[in-house]
Amino acid sequence: MNEIKCLGCGSILQTSHKNRPGYIDENLLNKDTENLLCQRCFKLKHYRELTDVEISQDEYIKILNKIAFVDALVLNMVDLFDLQGSIIPSIHRFIGQNDMILVGNKRDVLPKSLNDGKIKQWIRKIIKEYGYNIKDIALVSAQKGHGIDELMALIEKYRSNRDVYIIGSTNVGKSTLVNAIIKRFTEKTDDLITTSQFPGTTLDLIEIPLDENHYLIDTPGIINKHQYAFYLDKKNLQHILPKKEIKPKVYQLDKEQTLFFDGLARFDYLDGERTSFVCYFSNDIKVHRTKLSNADNLFSKHIGELLSPPSKEEYGNLGKYKISHFRTPKNRCDIVISGLGFISIKAPNIKVAIHAPKNVGVYIRPSLF
């Protein structure tokens, strides 16, 4: 068969990979060979809706590298629920000297009572360790439409006649934000949102006009293999992603007690006085408490059933869980399981451990609270 290209973005049309560039339903491809749009361009044109595409690490790096050679403002989107897990390491090596604004999304899942100023202070402390150099921070909830006007005002403040690129890992909510911006934008104007082929890639980037000559350009997200999301099917992914303000669950534990977060991770309190542990996980995740001496047995008997997700099949793919040990520091800390949640601990100098799949990031950080 001759290669047929999408009229919108120029990708070669294909019928086998739904999430790759150029996908089109087989029936449509057989009906007509002219004026065809891939599913992504079709949805963008007719519904003003952006869908994700998957690209390889190489394609992603090419795109980021390109940004270093243009004079642009970069919006780097992160997930406030999993800040470290959604940070792109060595970002300045890719984007060069360009100015960057950090956009912290999913503000709605953190406690309302928490002050925005305090969240920003905490973000600054953490990103410093990653060598991030930023102009400003915006806190938004793309899904609820909160903070978007403030973000647009920040963009205007810093972009000074330049294009604006949005970058971020998958699942930070980039499509949700771009869709929200497209909706606002199209309420005000009939200007066309366009796509353009990025040199050296198979990819079309969405361009939203900011003025006559400049665009807000969406780039695809990089898949983050140390986030839990990568290892779950769609249904279980929805189960772990918090949808609204998290109601923390507080447990008073004696040493040698264990908490299971469904079958996804396990927390052991190994040594210290009786103390409290504040757990921030999606409200859908069930916490099971047991004695440390009983934990291995409970897990092997009930994984994939009482302790699910993961399903038995997913657990088979995840492999035996790795144990990470921590001794808590003087100041309050959070122990994070990337993309799943975190446990906030005030007591200093106690010993705890986390069991989680070997590729999922587990780390300790200064507390958000």
Q: Binding residues for ligand GDP, per CB under 6 A? A: 52, 105-106, 108-109, 141-144, 168, 170-176, 221, 241-243
Shortest distance (Å) from residue 88 CB to ligand GDP: 12
Q: Are 40 and 21 in contact (CB under 8 A)?
A: yes
Q: For residues 149 and 163, give the distance between their C-alpha atoms in angstroms, rounded to a whole number.
A: 18
DSSP category for residue 246 = -
Place of tokens 């690209």: 55
User: Which CB sits closer to ligand GDP, 52 or 296?
Assistant: 52
The closest alpha carbon to 140, from 161, 162, 123, belongs to 123
Shortest distance (Å) from residue 273 CB to ligand GDP: 36
User: Which CB sits closer to ligand GDP, 74 or 253?
Assistant: 74
User: Which CB sits closer to ligand GDP, 166 or 295?
Assistant: 166
Q: For residues 139 and 17, give the distance between their C-alpha atoms in angstroms, rounded to a whole number.
A: 35
Q: For residues 243 and 249, give the distance between their C-alpha atoms in angstroms, rounded to a whole number.
A: 16
Shortest distance (Å) from residue 236 CB to ligand GDP: 12
Shortest distance (Å) from residue 93 CB to ligand GDP: 22
Shortest distance (Å) from residue 341 CB to ligand GDP: 13
CB half-sphere exposure, 87, CA atoms < 13 A: 18
The DSSP code sequence of 163-221 is: EEEEEEBTTSSHHHHHHHHHHHHHHH--PPPEEEEPTTSS-EEEEEESSSS-EEEE-PP
User: Which CB sits closer to ligand GDP, 106 or 266?
Assistant: 106
Residue at shortest CB range from ligand GDP = 173
User: Which CB sits closer to ligand GDP, 324 or 338?
Assistant: 338
